[in-house]
Amino acid sequence: MFLGVQGKAGAGVVLLTTFIGWATSYFGPLTILHFAAQAGSSLYNPSGKSTPHKREYSLAESHAVRGEFQEAVDAFTAAIAEDPTDPIPYLRVARIQRDQLKDNEAAARWFKSALDESQMHSGLRTLTRKELVELYEVRMSQPRRAAPLLARIAEERAGTPEGDAASKELTRIKAMLASERHDG
Protein backbone atom coordinates (compact mmCIF):
# COMPACT_ATOMS: atom_id res chain seq x y z
CA MET A 1 0.00 0.00 0.00
CA PHE A 2 2.79 2.40 0.90
CA LEU A 3 4.60 1.83 -2.36
CA GLY A 4 1.64 3.03 -4.42
CA VAL A 5 1.16 6.30 -2.46
CA GLN A 6 3.30 9.27 -3.54
CA GLY A 7 3.65 12.95 -2.71
CA LYS A 8 2.29 14.95 0.20
CA ALA A 9 -0.89 12.92 0.35
CA GLY A 10 1.19 9.77 0.57
CA ALA A 11 3.18 11.12 3.52
CA GLY A 12 -0.09 11.98 5.31
CA VAL A 13 -1.48 8.49 4.72
CA VAL A 14 1.74 6.93 6.00
CA LEU A 15 1.66 9.18 9.07
CA LEU A 16 -2.02 8.49 9.71
CA THR A 17 -1.58 4.75 9.28
CA THR A 18 1.42 4.77 11.61
CA PHE A 19 -0.53 6.71 14.24
CA ILE A 20 -3.55 4.37 13.99
CA GLY A 21 -1.25 1.36 14.30
CA TRP A 22 0.48 2.82 17.33
CA ALA A 23 -2.84 3.82 19.00
CA THR A 24 -4.30 0.37 18.39
CA SER A 25 -1.25 -1.40 19.75
CA TYR A 26 -1.16 0.91 22.81
CA PHE A 27 -4.85 1.37 23.66
CA GLY A 28 -6.05 -2.05 22.52
CA PRO A 29 -4.43 -4.00 25.36
CA LEU A 30 -5.43 -1.27 27.85
CA THR A 31 -9.04 -1.58 26.75
CA ILE A 32 -8.90 -5.36 27.06
CA LEU A 33 -7.35 -5.04 30.54
CA HIS A 34 -10.04 -2.55 31.56
CA PHE A 35 -12.86 -4.93 30.62
CA ALA A 36 -11.05 -7.85 32.24
CA ALA A 37 -10.69 -5.83 35.45
CA GLN A 38 -14.39 -4.99 35.41
CA ALA A 39 -15.24 -8.67 35.00
CA GLY A 40 -12.90 -9.63 37.85
CA SER A 41 -14.29 -6.88 40.04
CA SER A 42 -17.81 -8.16 39.60
CA LEU A 43 -16.66 -11.59 40.77
CA TYR A 44 -14.98 -10.31 43.93
CA ASN A 45 -17.26 -7.32 44.59
CA PRO A 46 -20.77 -8.57 43.88
CA SER A 47 -23.36 -6.21 42.46
CA GLY A 48 -25.87 -7.00 45.17
CA LYS A 49 -27.92 -9.27 42.94
CA SER A 50 -26.19 -12.42 44.15
CA THR A 51 -25.81 -14.05 47.55
CA PRO A 52 -24.02 -11.55 49.81
CA HIS A 53 -20.43 -12.19 50.75
CA LYS A 54 -20.12 -13.62 54.25
CA ARG A 55 -17.48 -11.72 56.18
CA GLU A 56 -14.99 -13.64 58.23
CA TYR A 57 -13.43 -12.58 61.48
CA SER A 58 -10.75 -15.24 61.83
CA LEU A 59 -8.10 -12.91 63.27
CA ALA A 60 -10.47 -11.53 65.90
CA GLU A 61 -11.85 -14.98 66.70
CA SER A 62 -8.34 -16.44 67.02
CA HIS A 63 -7.46 -13.74 69.56
CA ALA A 64 -10.61 -14.55 71.53
CA VAL A 65 -9.91 -18.30 71.51
CA ARG A 66 -6.37 -17.70 72.80
CA GLY A 67 -7.70 -15.51 75.60
CA GLU A 68 -6.34 -12.30 74.08
CA PHE A 69 -9.61 -10.48 74.65
CA GLN A 70 -8.45 -6.89 74.23
CA GLU A 71 -6.76 -7.81 70.92
CA ALA A 72 -10.00 -9.51 69.85
CA VAL A 73 -11.97 -6.38 70.74
CA ASP A 74 -9.51 -4.28 68.74
CA ALA A 75 -9.80 -6.58 65.70
CA PHE A 76 -13.60 -6.59 65.85
CA THR A 77 -13.56 -2.79 66.22
CA ALA A 78 -11.45 -2.56 63.06
CA ALA A 79 -14.03 -4.74 61.29
CA ILE A 80 -16.78 -2.36 62.43
CA ALA A 81 -14.83 0.56 60.95
CA GLU A 82 -14.75 -1.29 57.61
CA ASP A 83 -18.47 -2.13 57.63
CA PRO A 84 -20.54 -0.45 60.35
CA THR A 85 -23.74 -2.09 59.07
CA ASP A 86 -22.63 -5.62 60.00
CA PRO A 87 -24.04 -6.52 63.44
CA ILE A 88 -21.77 -9.52 64.13
CA PRO A 89 -18.64 -7.65 65.30
CA TYR A 90 -20.72 -5.41 67.59
CA LEU A 91 -22.31 -8.45 69.19
CA ARG A 92 -19.00 -10.30 69.56
CA VAL A 93 -17.45 -7.27 71.31
CA ALA A 94 -20.49 -6.96 73.59
CA ARG A 95 -20.29 -10.63 74.54
CA ILE A 96 -16.54 -10.49 75.16
CA GLN A 97 -17.03 -7.41 77.35
CA ARG A 98 -19.83 -9.16 79.27
CA ASP A 99 -18.49 -12.70 79.56
CA GLN A 100 -14.70 -12.42 79.58
CA LEU A 101 -13.84 -8.88 80.61
CA LYS A 102 -16.78 -8.62 83.06
CA ASP A 103 -17.45 -5.02 82.00
CA ASN A 104 -21.24 -4.92 81.93
CA GLU A 105 -21.53 -1.19 81.17
CA ALA A 106 -19.26 -1.57 78.14
CA ALA A 107 -21.23 -4.64 77.06
CA ALA A 108 -24.48 -2.66 77.31
CA ARG A 109 -23.02 0.13 75.17
CA TRP A 110 -21.94 -2.37 72.50
CA PHE A 111 -25.34 -4.10 72.47
CA LYS A 112 -27.03 -0.69 72.08
CA SER A 113 -24.59 0.24 69.29
CA ALA A 114 -25.47 -2.99 67.51
CA LEU A 115 -29.16 -2.10 67.73
CA ASP A 116 -28.68 1.53 66.70
CA GLU A 117 -25.92 1.41 64.10
CA SER A 118 -26.01 -1.94 62.34
CA GLN A 119 -28.55 -3.56 60.06
CA MET A 120 -30.17 -6.63 61.64
CA HIS A 121 -33.01 -8.87 60.63
CA SER A 122 -35.88 -8.84 63.12
CA GLY A 123 -34.97 -12.15 64.78
CA LEU A 124 -31.43 -11.01 65.57
CA ARG A 125 -32.76 -7.65 66.76
CA THR A 126 -35.08 -9.43 69.21
CA LEU A 127 -32.27 -11.71 70.41
CA THR A 128 -30.01 -8.70 70.97
CA ARG A 129 -32.72 -6.94 72.95
CA LYS A 130 -33.24 -10.07 75.05
CA GLU A 131 -29.51 -10.26 75.77
CA LEU A 132 -29.53 -6.62 76.82
CA VAL A 133 -32.59 -7.21 79.05
CA GLU A 134 -30.78 -10.13 80.72
CA LEU A 135 -27.71 -7.97 81.19
CA TYR A 136 -29.70 -5.16 82.84
CA GLU A 137 -31.90 -7.37 85.00
CA VAL A 138 -29.63 -10.21 86.09
CA ARG A 139 -26.06 -9.01 85.89
CA MET A 140 -26.53 -5.32 86.65
CA SER A 141 -29.68 -5.47 88.84
CA GLN A 142 -31.15 -2.50 86.96
CA PRO A 143 -34.57 -3.66 85.73
CA ARG A 144 -35.66 -0.07 85.09
CA ARG A 145 -33.23 0.03 82.13
CA ALA A 146 -34.75 -3.21 80.77
CA ALA A 147 -38.33 -1.90 80.69
CA PRO A 148 -38.16 0.00 77.34
CA LEU A 149 -36.59 -3.02 75.66
CA LEU A 150 -39.25 -5.35 77.02
CA ALA A 151 -41.96 -2.95 75.84
CA ARG A 152 -40.44 -2.98 72.34
CA ILE A 153 -40.25 -6.79 72.25
CA ALA A 154 -43.84 -7.07 73.51
CA GLU A 155 -44.99 -4.63 70.83
CA GLU A 156 -43.05 -6.13 67.91
CA ARG A 157 -43.72 -9.76 68.86
CA ALA A 158 -47.31 -9.38 70.08
CA GLY A 159 -49.21 -12.67 70.00
CA THR A 160 -46.04 -14.79 70.05
CA PRO A 161 -44.52 -16.59 73.04
CA GLU A 162 -41.64 -14.06 73.02
CA GLY A 163 -44.03 -11.12 73.02
CA ASP A 164 -46.18 -12.64 75.78
CA ALA A 165 -43.13 -13.36 77.96
CA ALA A 166 -41.82 -9.82 77.45
CA SER A 167 -45.23 -8.39 78.33
CA LYS A 168 -45.41 -10.44 81.54
CA GLU A 169 -41.87 -9.44 82.54
CA LEU A 170 -42.65 -5.79 81.83
CA THR A 171 -45.76 -6.02 84.03
CA ARG A 172 -43.65 -7.55 86.82
CA ILE A 173 -41.02 -4.80 86.56
CA LYS A 174 -43.66 -2.05 86.54
CA ALA A 175 -45.26 -3.52 89.66
CA MET A 176 -41.86 -3.77 91.38
CA LEU A 177 -40.98 -0.18 90.50
CA ALA A 178 -44.40 1.04 91.68
CA SER A 179 -43.97 -0.72 95.04
CA GLU A 180 -40.51 0.82 95.41
CA ARG A 181 -42.01 4.29 94.90
CA HIS A 182 -44.68 3.64 97.53
CA ASP A 183 -42.15 2.17 100.00
CA GLY A 184 -39.53 4.82 99.46
Whole-number average pLDDT of the chain: 87
Domain ranges of the chain: 56-120, 125-177
Taking 80 as the threshold, does the pLDDT of residue 135 lie above it? yes
Across residues 154-170, what is the average pLDDT?
A: 95
Between helices 122-134 and 161-183, what is the axis angle to 10°? Answer: 30
Which pLDDT band holds residue 28 (cuts at 50, 70, 90)? confident
91-132 per-position pLDDT tens digit: 999 999 999 999 999 999 999 999 999 999 999 999 999 999
Query: Under a CB-based contact definition with an 8 Å cutoff, are residues 120 and 128 in contact?
Result: yes
CATH class of this structure's domain 56-120: mainly alpha
Of the listed ranges 12-16, 51-55, 119-123, the least confidently predicted one is 51-55
The whole-number pLDDT of residue 8 equals 62
Per-residue confidence (pLDDT) for residue 33, from 0 to 100: 76
Report the b/e string of 34-64 with b at 16+ CB within 10 A.
eeeeeeeeeeeeeeeeeeeeeeebeebeebb
DSSP secondary-structure letter at 85?
T
Q: How far apart are alpha carbons 147 and 145 in whole angstroms?
A: 6
d(CA 55, CA 127): 21
Looking at residue 67, what DSSP letter applies? T
> How many other CB atoms are found less than 10 A from the CB of residue 179?
10
Q: Which amino acid is at 52?
A: P
Is residue 79 within 8 Å of 90, Cβ to Cβ?
A: no
The phi-psi region of residue 103 (left if phi > 0; otherwise alpha if psi is between -120 and 50; otherwise beta) is beta
Name the 3-class secondary structure at 35: helix
The closest alpha carbon to 107, from 81, 83, 136, belongs to 136
Contact 138, 105 (CB under 8 A): no
Q: What is the pLDDT of residue 17?
A: 81
